[in-house]
Amino acid sequence: MSKNLRITNSKFIDQTSRISFKFDGKTLYGFKGDTLASALLANDIHLVGRSFKYHRPRGIMACGPEEPNAIVQVGSDASITEPNTRATEIELYEGLEASSQNCWPSVNFDIGAVNNFFSPLIPAAFYYKTFMWPANFWKLYEYFIRKSAGLGKSPTEPDKDIYDHRYLHCDVLVVGGGISGIIAAKIAAKNNFNTLLIDDKNILGGTTLFQENECFKINNSYSNEWLKKEIETLKSLKNLTIKTRTSLAAYHSYNYLLARENLTDHLDINEKKDKIRQRLWKIRAKKVIISTGAMERPLIFNNNDRPGIILSSSIKRYIDYYGVKCGQRISLFTNNDSAYEAAISLNNSGVIVNSVVDIRDKTNSLIVKQAENLGISISCDGVCLTLISKTNKILEFYLSNETLHRSKFKKIIKGESINLELPLKKGQNISGHICQGHVDYVSKVKKIKLIDKSYLMEFSANTKQKKSLIEKASILINGVSLTISKITKNGFEVWIIPHTYKLTNLSKLKMNSLVNIEVDILSKYVKKYFNEK
């Protein structure tokens, strides 16, 4: 059952004007100000397409022109249907019809997805042409391959819309209407330069439009309020032309640029009639200022292309600008401060943030302090897990298939005790060794010996696993950092001092108990460096 993921505090969405549209034949509702992507997310629709070759499920991942996944076909009419448009760039209008591409018969049940299971057999640069042999079989293959190859459908009848092109000359062209673009345009126009400012969105301001965090103040006022005033000043300047919904498409030599202005694409289907749809601007500028800002770089991890995994900057835009929460429970994974902005925005809008998993050791920024009380990430038995809920002294974690497969949690019994460790806090001394919480393999207890109040334990390791073990090196057993005292014939030995034994579940170990092993990260790097398997 899909849920309504809309919250009601956005200043940019007009919740009084409901818009109906169709996606994959289903009638859905959004509001004026929405993009197709934000409206889909508000309707709890993440799965919008399939990848080109393996037909892996693809969901909305970003919120602007950087969107790689949510590529849709717009319009059902044979003359105006348009393939390969980004759902994140389509402003919602009454009567919009869109559908997923590269899937058949439907995005949820896609026959081509079997390619994903056969992926070892379909390497990169595999061509569907392979199927052309033997020649008389092509008749059989063709129908199915034509269905599964290619992205989108091209129109089959002439375009009925009206298009226009115009020349424009200016002293200064400013591309992008964020903070830097607005200041650049203001200075240029005030100095009597004939200036043109263009932005691809329907309003100027970029991400600053919804930036109202204490940490981001300009001249002692919140950035969004400061920006509002600057835009007002800008509109009163005589030398300045502002074009919104205009995106730069090409930058040729001698400052010759091409830009496309969208004139009616956002209008209701009835209002579009007899109007110029798009205009191509051929711009010759004396100076060009590119102030397009930056895009967030996605983090690399297994299956990061799955639906539901969204850039944190986009999560922030969806919640602050469109008033759409990207999910019910959100966890953030980051290597910098920007995810905390998203966490704070979500929290301010009443969305539960499970955890912020930060790969950094420590950071001093104010925004992290601000977010510190929001979520928590716990290293559990050496496996980095995400906390889902915390009620009545019971912690609920989510374990993925990969985690289950690699760790001993597959064989865990009810009532068994595990080691809990909180993530390193800022300012705490770093001791022990670097543990990532990523289990490498599972070992068995081979020997337990009590010698002088300490315990000597032997764990199993095969020849391959032993390669990354050396005496006196650190190793993580059930999340407890220990030192390898000896490499044995079938594994390795460690000493466990009484303090460790008392505080951890190592005391519960018996012969042949299973434990999670994480080898020293340094050994992995060294191995990689020398190309060892």
Partner 1 sequence: MFLINCPYCGERDQSEFSAGGEAHILRPKQPTELSDDQWAEYLFMRKNIKGVQFERWNHTHGCRKWFNMVRDTSNDKIHAVYKMGEKPPVK
Regarding 235 and contact with partner 1 (CB under 8 A), the answer is no
Nearer to partner 1, 136 or 253 (CB): 253
Regarding 284 and contact with partner 1 (CB under 8 A), the answer is yes
- Cβ at position 167, least distance to partner 1 in Å: 8
The C-alpha atoms of residue 326 and residue 393 are separated, in whole angstroms, by 28
Enumerate residues 62-101 that contact partner 1 by CB under 8 A. Answer: none
Beta bridge partners of 493: 458, 486
Nearer to partner 1, 252 or 390 (CB): 252
- Cβ at position 172, least distance to partner 1 in Å: 16
| Residue entry with tokens 């019971």 | 394
Regarding 364 and contact with partner 1 (CB under 8 A), the answer is no
Nearer to partner 1, 142 or 164 (CB): 164
Nearest to 207 by CA among 299, 298, 312: 312
- Cβ at position 168, least distance to partner 1 in Å: 12
Please say whether the beta carbons of 514 and 443 come within 8 A: yes
Cα diameter, the chain: 93
Nearer to partner 1, 145 or 168 (CB): 168
Please give the backbone phi and psi of residue 305, each rounded to the nearest 5 degrees, phi first: -95, 5
Beta bridge partners of 50: 57
Binding mask 252-271 for partner 1 (x = CB under 8 A): xxxxx---------------
As a whole number of Å, the CA-based R_g of the chain is: 29
Burial 445-462 (b: 16+ CB within 10 A, else e): bbeeeeeeeebbbbbbbe
Please say whether the beta carbons of 67 and 88 come within 8 A: yes
- Cβ at position 199, least distance to partner 1 in Å: 24
- Cβ at position 176, least distance to partner 1 in Å: 22
Regarding 220 and contact with partner 1 (CB under 8 A), the answer is no
- Cβ at position 253, least distance to partner 1 in Å: 5
Please say whether the beta carbons of 222 and 212 come within 8 A: yes
Q: Helix and strand tally (H, E) in the chain?
A: 12, 27
Nearer to partner 1, 258 or 521 (CB): 258
Regarding 147 and contact with partner 1 (CB under 8 A), the answer is no
Q: Binding segment for partner 1 among 99-107, 198-206, 249-257, 393-401 (CB under 8 A)? A: 249-257
Which amino acid makes up residue 507?
A: S
Regarding 530 and contact with partner 1 (CB under 8 A), the answer is no
Judged by the rule CB under 8 A, the positions of this chain that interact with partner 1 are 252-256, 284
